[in-house]
C-alpha cells in the first residue's frame, strides 16, 4: 500500500463511504499524478488509512476498505520551537513532521526577530499536511499560532499537556545529555521539548522555565543553529521512543 499516493482528507469531506475532493485535491490527483477514474489511492482521515478509488466522471472518490498500519510513535512529542529567520521554520515543520511530532507550537522569544503573518501559519499547516502524506503518518501534527514565551510556560501546565515530561534545550553546563535524560522518562507519558532561538535563551527565560519544572538538557558540546537544534532534538526523541518500543515488544 505504501506505493499508492497518500492524501489527507478532512472528516467533513466524507459522507458515508463517499469522499468529496477539494479542487486542489482533484488537480493534484488527476492533473499532476494523472490518475483516472477507477485508480486507487490512500485516504488518511481521523488517524485511519482507507483504500479509496476515484469515481469516473465526478470530483469524488469512495472508501473501499480500511488499511491496517501503525506508524505513530508510542509516546507523543510536543515541540515548542522559537521562530527562525527566513524560511528556516518551513524546514523545521517539514522535518519534525516526518520524524513524528504530534504538536508544534512556534515561540516568540526575547531574541526572536520574526513576526509571522497569518499566511505563514497557513503555509506551515500545508507543509505539515504534505510531509505527513509523504512520510506515511496516520495524523497531521497540530500547528499552533505563534505564542509568547510566557504564554508557552502557562500552556505547558494546562491539562492538555499535564502528562508530559517537560524539557528545555540549553547550551550551557546546566543541561544533562538529552539521551541520558530520556532514560528516566516513563513510557506512559509524552515529551514536551522546548528549543530556543538563534542566540539562545536569555538568562531570565532559562531560569523561568527551569523554575517551572522544565529539565535543562544538552544536545552536545557543539552550538547548533536553531533549525538544526529542533531537528536534532526530535530525531533523538523519536529514536529513543522507537528503540524503547522495539525492546518492549522483543
- Asked whether residue 72 is domain-assigned, the answer is no
Domain count, the chain: 2
E-strand stretches of the chain? 6-8, 14-15, 18-20, 40-45, 48-54, 60-67, 77-82, 103-108, 142-143, 147-148, 164-169, 176-177, 190-195, 215-218
Secondary structure (H, E, C), 2-25 = CCCCEEECCHHHEECCEEECCHHH
- Looking at the structure, do residues 97 and 123 belong to the same domain, yes or no? yes
> Are 236 and 175 a contacting pair, CB within 8 Å?
no
Q: What is the largest CA-CA distance in the chain?
A: 64
* Domain closes at, from 36, 67, 98: 67
Gap between the Cα atoms of 79 and 198, Å rounded: 16
pLDDT of res. 68:
87
Q: What CA dihedral angle connects 28, 29, 33 and 34, to 10 degrees?
A: -120
Query: Do 124 and 211 share a structural domain?
Result: yes
Give the chain's mean pLDDT: 91
Whether 102 is covered by a domain: the verdict is yes
My answer on whether 149 and 215 are in the same domain is yes
Domain match, 27 and 142 both? no
Q: Does 1 fall in a domain?
A: no
Structure confidence by residue, pLDDT tens digits, 186-198 = 888 999 999 999 9
Instruction: Quote the CA–CA distance of 242 and 96 in Å, as a whole number.
Output: 15
Residue at which a domain ends, from 45, 67, 89: 67
Q: CATH code at 139?
A: 3.40.1280.10
Domain assignment of residue 230, yes or no? yes
Task: For residues 49 and 97, state if they share a domain.
Answer: no
Residue 246 pLDDT > 80, yes or no?
Answer: no
As a whole number, mean pLDDT of residues 141-151 equals 96
Rounded to the nearest 5°, which phi and psi values hold at 89?
-70, -25
36 vs 249, more confident: 36
Whole-angstrom distance, CA of residue 185 vs CA of residue 114: 33
Q: Where are the alpha helices (DSSP H) in 135-190?
A: 149-156, 178-182
Q: Could you tell me the pLDDT band of residue 2, with boundaries at 50, 70 and 90?
A: low
What span, in angstroms and rounded, lies between the C-alpha atoms of 16 and 46?
Answer: 14
> Domain containing 58 — which CATH number?
2.40.240.20
Any residues with CB less than 8 A from the CB of 209 and at least 6 apart, and which?
153, 168, 194, 201
Same domain, 93 and 215: yes
222 plus 113 within the same structural domain: yes
Within a domain: residue 211? yes
pLDDT at 9 over 70: yes
Q: Do you know the residue count of the chain?
A: 250
Please state the rounded mean pLDDT for residues 129-148: 95
Statement: residue 247 has pLDDT above 70:
no
Regarding whether 16 and 118 lie in a shared domain, the answer is no
84 and 36 belong to one structural domain: no
In angstroms, the CA 217 to CA 167 distance is 7
249 has pLDDT over 60 = no
Q: In this predicted model, what pLDDT tens digit does every residue of 221-243 receive, in sequence order? A: 888 999 999 999 999 999 999 99
Give 38-59 pLDDT, tens digit per residue. Answer: 999 999 998 889 999 999 877 8
The model's pTM = 0.86
Residue 201 has a pLDDT of 95
**Which residue segment(s) compose the domain that 23 sits in?**
6-67
Same domain for 48 and 101, yes or no, is no
pLDDT for residue 69 is more than 70? yes
Of 226, 219, 222, the residue nearest 178 (C-alpha): 219
Asked if residue 135 and residue 14 are part of one domain, the reply reads: no
With vertex at residue 165, the alpha carbon angle to CA 159 and CA 166, rounded to the nearest 5 degrees, is 90
Domain contains 149: yes
Say whether both 57 and 89 belong to one domain: no
Amino acid at each position: 500500500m505504501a506505493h499508492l499516493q497518500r492524501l489527507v482528507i478532512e472528516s467533513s469531506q466524507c459522507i458515508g463511504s463517499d469522499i468529496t475532493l477539494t479542487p486542489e485535491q482533484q488537480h493534484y490527483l488527476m492533473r499532476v499524478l494523472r490518475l483516472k477514474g477507477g485508480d486507487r489511492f490512500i485516504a488518511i482521515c481521523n488517524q485511519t488509512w482507507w483504500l479509496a478509488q476515484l469515481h469516473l466522471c465526478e470530483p469524488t472518490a469512495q472508501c473501499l476498505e480500511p488499511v491496517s498500519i501503525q506508524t505513530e510513535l508510542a509516546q507523543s512529542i510536543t515541540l515548542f520551537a522559537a521562530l527562525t529567520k527566513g524560511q528556516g521554520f518551513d524546514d523545521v515543520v517539514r522535518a519534525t513532521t516526518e520524524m513524528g511530532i504530534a504538536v508544534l507550537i512556534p515561540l516568540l522569544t526575547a531574541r526572536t526577530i520574526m513576526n509571522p503573518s497569518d499566511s505563514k501559519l497557513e503555509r506551515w499547516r500545508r507543509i505539515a499536511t504534505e510531509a505527513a502524506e509523504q512520510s506515511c503518518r496516520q495524523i497531521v501534527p497540530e500547528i499552533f499560532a505563534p505564542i509568547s514565551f510566557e504564554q508557552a510556560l502557562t500552556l505547558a501546565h494546562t491539562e492538555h499537556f499535564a502528562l508530559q515530561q517537560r524539557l528545555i534545550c540549553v547550551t550551557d553546563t546546566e543541561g544533562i545529555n538529552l539521551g541520558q535524560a530520556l532514560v528516566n522518562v516513563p513510557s506512559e507519558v509524552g515529551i514536551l521539548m522546548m528549543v530556543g532561538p538563534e542566540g539562545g535563551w536569555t538568562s531570565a527565560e532559562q531560569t523561568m522555565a527551569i523554575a517551572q519544572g522544565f529539565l535543562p538538557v544538552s544536545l552536545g558540546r557543539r552550538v547548533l543553529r536553531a533549525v538544526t537544534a529542533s531537528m536534532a532534538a526530535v530525531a533523538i526523541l523519536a529514536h529513543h521512543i522507537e528503540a524503547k518500543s522495539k525492546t518492549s515488544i522483543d
